[in-house]
């Protein structure tokens, strides 16, 4: 995929070079290569330097990509309608994973207040100090009277709790291992350094854990075209278990772009789904601009559902985002907002927001919602 990328400024390049030096040192210490999951972990989350840990704008028009909550209030108001019955039933809390700018938290709280279904507490699980600060600023500006219900966590709750867990576009940011097939054999795609210090893909032996995981998702590797490369999120099941371990009763909503396993690991998708975002350009080279660009992959929804079902959850819904929003009051949310908006331009923007969320060529079909009950 060739895309013309905007040139980073001198400060951005210097920042990226500091992170690159750290990654290079780890590669040297590891004997010449690290697995891609480790590279992705460092590129996104190295303290003070990784894409999500440092101060880049990331979300919205001034950043690199836009998520549903960043488009406006419609997504959050519909999600509030899905969550409200669970909060009323459990008298519980909300735990939001990876809350980004805090836009979803603020709008959800305001809508749940209108629906008379406020959570006792709203926990934001956020590792990045920079993003925590941004979330606090958003909540202080948008719903100061609800701030005292909010609390920040840097790891999943250790005490049992009830209520609703939500994660919008979080699983796509979990580090993945990369692999390819050669002949009948599988190899791991690892990250090394060339003579100029640039990061390059290398082939390494696949360990037993990776082989077993790949054999589960692609039992018929010999019938796949070559070259074939893809990626697998071996972290997903342990991560899921950890973040939901203390949720005693309630439900979890995961919203993300992805495929069923058969669609994901289809012979036709021979390049995997690794994507990078830098200034609203998407491309597929994660080895450039470390720390400046987002790195994501699609979600294997079968893996997510299996992780839920093997830890005591029941699948309550699995549907495209468009259907989810329609099933959870999109008409009403739109009609109310439209009726209360005197400004013609704002009414037009509202219609555009809804189109972005539900049209098949936009977020309506590529994004899906998995709802799990326990």
Ligand X SMILES: C[S@@+](CC[C@H](N)C(=O)[O-])C[C@H]1O[C@@H](n2cnc3c(N)ncnc32)[C@H](O)[C@@H]1O
DSSP-derived letter for residue 293 is S
Which residue of 168, 230, 273, 297 would you call a contact of ligand X, by CB under 6 A?
Answer: 168
Residue 196 corresponds to which tokens in the numbers above?
A: 């100029």
- For 29, the enclosing helix (H) or strand (E) is helix 10-29
Residues 6+ apart with CB under 8 A from 5: 278, 279, 281, 283, 289
Could you say whether residue 50 binds ligand X (CB under 6 A)?
Answer: no
The answer to whether residue 291 forms part of the interface with ligand X (CB under 6 A) is no
Q: What angle do CA 315, 165, 262 make, to 5 degrees?
A: 40
Q: Report the chain's C-alpha Rg in angstroms.
A: 21
Binding part of the chain for ligand X, among 28-36, 91-99, 197-205, 357-365 by CB under 6 A, reads 91-99
- Is residue 276 a contact point for ligand X (CB under 6 A)? no
Dig out the tokens for 318 from the structure: 């699995």
Q: Using the 8-state DSSP alphabet, how is residue 125 labeled?
A: E
- Interaction between residue 157 and ligand X (CB under 6 A): no
Rounded Cα gap, residues 39 and 238, in angstroms: 19
The residue within the footprint of ligand X, chosen from 37, 78, 139, 170 (CB under 6 A), is: 170
Peptide bond into 247 cis (omega under 30): no
CA–CA gap between residue 121 and residue 141 (Å, rounded): 18
Interaction of residue 107 with ligand X, rule CB under 6 A: no
**Which of the 8 DSSP states describes residue 92?**
-
Joined tokens for residue 32: 């010449």
Q: In terms of CB distance, is 119 or 192 closer to ligand X?
A: 119
Q: Does 321 bind ligand X (CB under 6 A)?
A: no
Contact letters for ligand X, residues 226-265 (x by CB under 6 A): -------------x--------------------------
**Nearer to ligand X by C-beta: 119 or 180?**
119
11 phi/psi in degrees, rounded to 5: -70, -40
Q: Is 67 in the site for ligand X (CB under 6 A)?
A: yes
Please tell me the distance from the alpha carbon of residue 69 to that of residue 297, in angstroms, as a whole number. Answer: 19
User: How far, in Å, CA of 358 to CA of 325, rounded?
Assistant: 8
Shortest distance, position 342 Cβ to ligand X, whole Å: 29
In 3D, which of 158, 309, 151 has the Cα closest to residue 247? Answer: 158
Q: Decide: is 128 part of the binding site for ligand X (CB under 6 A).
A: yes
- Nearer of residues 35 and 126 to ligand X, judged by Cβ: 126
Other Cβ atoms less than 10 A from the Cβ of 194: the count is 9
Least Å distance, CB 223 to ligand X, is: 34
Cβ contact 225:139 at 8 Å: no
- Give the pair of three-digit tokens for residue 217: 């998702």
Which is nearer to ligand X, 67 or 328 (by Cβ)?
67
Q: Which is nearer to ligand X, 111 or 186 (CB)?
A: 111
Q: What minimum distance in Å lies between the beta carbon of 115 and ligand X?
A: 21
Which lies closer to ligand X via its Cβ, residue 104 or residue 178? 104
The piece of 167-175, 208-216, 329-337, 343-351 that touches ligand X (CB under 6 A) is 167-175
Please work out the total of residues on this chain that contact ligand X, with binding judged by CB under 6 A.
18
- In total, the chain counts a number of residues equal to 374
CB of 210 or CB of 299, closer to ligand X: 299
Contact with ligand X (CB under 6 A): which of 19, 27, 36, 69?
A: 69
52 is an interface residue for ligand X by CB under 6 A: yes
Choices 141-149, 165-173, 282-290, 330-338; region in contact with ligand X by CB under 6 A: 165-173
- Judged by CB under 6 A, the residue of 86, 125, 165, 213 near ligand X is 125
Residue 278 found at the interface with ligand X (CB under 6 A): no
Give the binding site for ligand X (CB under 6 A): 52, 59, 67, 69-70, 97-100, 125, 128, 131, 168-170, 173-174, 239
């Amino acid at each position: 995929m060739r895309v013309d990328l905007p040139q980073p400024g001198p400060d951005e390049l210097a920042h990226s070079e500091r992170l690159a030096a750290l990654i290079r040192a780890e590669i040297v210490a590891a004997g010449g290569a690290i697995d891609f999951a480790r590279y992705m972990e460092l590129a996104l989350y190295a303290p003070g330097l990784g894409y999500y840990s440092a101060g880049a704008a990331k979300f919205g028009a001034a950043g690199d990509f836009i998520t549903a909550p960043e488009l406006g209030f419609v997504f959050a108001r519909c999600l509030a309608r899905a969550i409200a019955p669970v909060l009323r039933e459990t008298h519980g809390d909300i735990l939001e994973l990876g809350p980004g700018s805090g836009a979803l938290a603020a709008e959800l709280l305001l809508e749940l207040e209108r629906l008379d279904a406020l959570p006792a507490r709203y926990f934001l699980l956020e590792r990045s100090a920079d993003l925590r600060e941004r979330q606090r600023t958003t909540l202080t500006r948008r719903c100061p009277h609800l701030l005292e219900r909010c609390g920040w966590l840097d790891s999943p709750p250790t005490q049992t709790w009830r209520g609703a867990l939500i994660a919008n576009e979080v699983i796509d940011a979990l580090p993945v291992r990369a692999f390819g097939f050669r002949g009948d054999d599988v190899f791991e795609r690892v990250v090394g350094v060339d003579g100029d210090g640039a990061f390059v893909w290398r082939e390494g032996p696949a360990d037993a854990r990776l082989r077993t995981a790949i054999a589960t998702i692609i039992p018929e590797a010999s019938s796949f075209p070559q070259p074939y490369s893809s990626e697998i999120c071996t972290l997903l099941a342990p991560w899921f278990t950890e973040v939901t371990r203390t949720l005693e009763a309630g439900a979890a909503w995961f919203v993300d772009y992805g495929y069923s396993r058969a669609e994901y690991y289809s012979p036709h998708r021979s390049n995997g789904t690794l994507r990078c975002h830098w200034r609203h350009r998407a491309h597929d080279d994660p080895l450039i601009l470390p720390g400046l660009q987002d790195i994501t992959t699609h979600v294997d929804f079968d893996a997510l559902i299996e992780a839920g079902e093997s830890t005591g959850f029941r699948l309550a819904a699995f549907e495209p985002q468009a259907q989810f929003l329609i099933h959870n009051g999109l008409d009403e949310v739109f009609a109310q907002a439209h009726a209360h908006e005197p400004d013609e331009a704002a009414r037009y923007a509202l219609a555009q927001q809804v189109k972005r969320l539900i049209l098949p060529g936009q977020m309506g079909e590529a994004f899906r919602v998995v709802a799990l009950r326990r």
